[in-house]
Amino acid sequence: MKKCLIILFLVLGALELYMAYGERAEGFFSVAAPEREYAYQIGEKLSFREDATANPYCIEGFSLNEGTHTWTSGKFAKMCFDLTGEYKNLVMKFSCRVYAPPQRVEVYVNGYKLTSFVASKSKKHSIYIPAKYILKDRLRIEFILPDAVSPAEMEGVSDTRLLALGMLNLRISSIQ
């Protein structure tokens, strides 16, 4: 019983830090995505454009599709994938446009920080995902976007969404 209470307090403490500072402890596995299937065939190219094939994998932090792209909405965006197909290590490649550059971006997979970079123009990004971070064929990819800003602040319009990345496409491929 005492061990259960200690674990509960540790989890609550990590959650409180995240809520207070918007930071994740490296290696801390946050609450899993809702229980549903996110079947993804390794190598499949997903679109955030008009056909919006990426939509089923977007768990939170994405706006409605705008035909040419889908904006992240807020300072945090999450996607979930249940991998099918052969793989060892992976690489995630995605293309995006940037709202109000520069935008700092941190990328986590299953709670582990993989990389951080500054997006200053529309371009393609490649992120290596070591096999040791893939848990039971599930990838939970989180984008932390601390510089997201609303068009209302920037342009004086009525759009109050916090925008950072206008996602165009994404592909997760196997590498040896």
Residues 93 and 80 in one domain: yes
Residues 23 and 37 in one domain: no
Q: What is the CATH number of the domain that holds 106?
A: 2.60.120.260
Reported residue count of the chain is 176
Residues 24 and 48 in one domain: no
Percent pLDDT > 90 in the chain is 72
In this structure, are residues 52 and 131 in contact, taking their beta carbons and an 8 Å threshold? no
pLDDT tens-digit readout, 75-87: 999 999 999 988 9
Domain that holds residue 17: 1-30
- How many domains are there within the chain? 2
Q: Model-level pTM? A: 0.79
Taken in order 106, 46, 161, 109, the sign of the CA dihedral is negative
Residues 21 and 52 in one domain: no
Residues 68 and 109 in one domain: yes
Percent pLDDT > 70 in the chain is 80
Taken in order 118, 174, 51, 107, the sign of the CA dihedral is negative
pLDDT tens-digit readout, 91-135: 999 999 999 989 999 999 999 999 999 999 888 999 999 999 999
Residues 131 and 166 in one domain: yes
Residues 43 and 100 in one domain: yes
Residues 2 and 88 in one domain: no
Residues 21 and 56 in one domain: no
pLDDT at 164 over 60: yes
Q: How confident is the model at residue 7 (pLDDT cuts 50, 70, 90)?
A: very low
Q: Which residues have C-beta within 8 Å of that of residue 131, sequence separation ≥ 6?
A: 87, 88, 89, 90
Q: How confident is the model at residue 156 (pLDDT cuts 50, 70, 90)?
A: confident
In this structure, are residues 95 and 126 in contact, taking their beta carbons and an 8 Å threshold? no
Residues 106 and 62 in one domain: yes
Residues 47 and 116 in one domain: yes
